[in-house]
Amino acid sequence: MFTQYREEIEQLRASDKNFSRLCDKHSALDTEVEALVQRKSPSLQVEIEHLKKQKLAVKEELYSMLREAEPVLVLKQQKNYLNLEKMAAMSGVRLNA
């Protein structure tokens, strides 16, 4: 899920309990859907579709949270890099750009 946001997801999971809870919910729904699909029972199709809709709703919410947090995370990364540059300069180490 959202491979291009791997780092952002890790950061948000660590700092936002709601985001982490939604990630866990998405994963649980995915596991549940896969288990039902493996049973290959036509009678489960309605339940599978319902779970897929729930999973999509969670995924959309996660994506919205990622997009909202992205500028803040980028600024934090830039600040961390600037601090690293400053520390390196103070110790006489050159960072490669």
Written as one letter, the residue type at 43 is: S
pTM: 0.69
Write down the mean pLDDT value for the chain.
Answer: 83
Distance, CA of 62 to CA of 47 (rounded, Å): 23
Which of 6-10, 58-62, 76-80 is modeled with the greatest confidence? 58-62
CB atoms within 10 A of CB 29: 19
Q: pLDDT tens, 39-54?
A: 989 899 999 999 999 9
Percentages (nearest 5) of helix, strand, coil residues in the chain:
90, 0, 10
In whole angstroms, give the CA distance from residue 71 to residue 20.
Answer: 19
Q: What angle do CA 75, 77, 83 make, to 5 degrees?
A: 105
pLDDT at 88: 67
Enumerate the domain spans of the chain: 3-70
Residue 16 makes CB contacts below 8 A (sequence gap 6+) with 65, 69
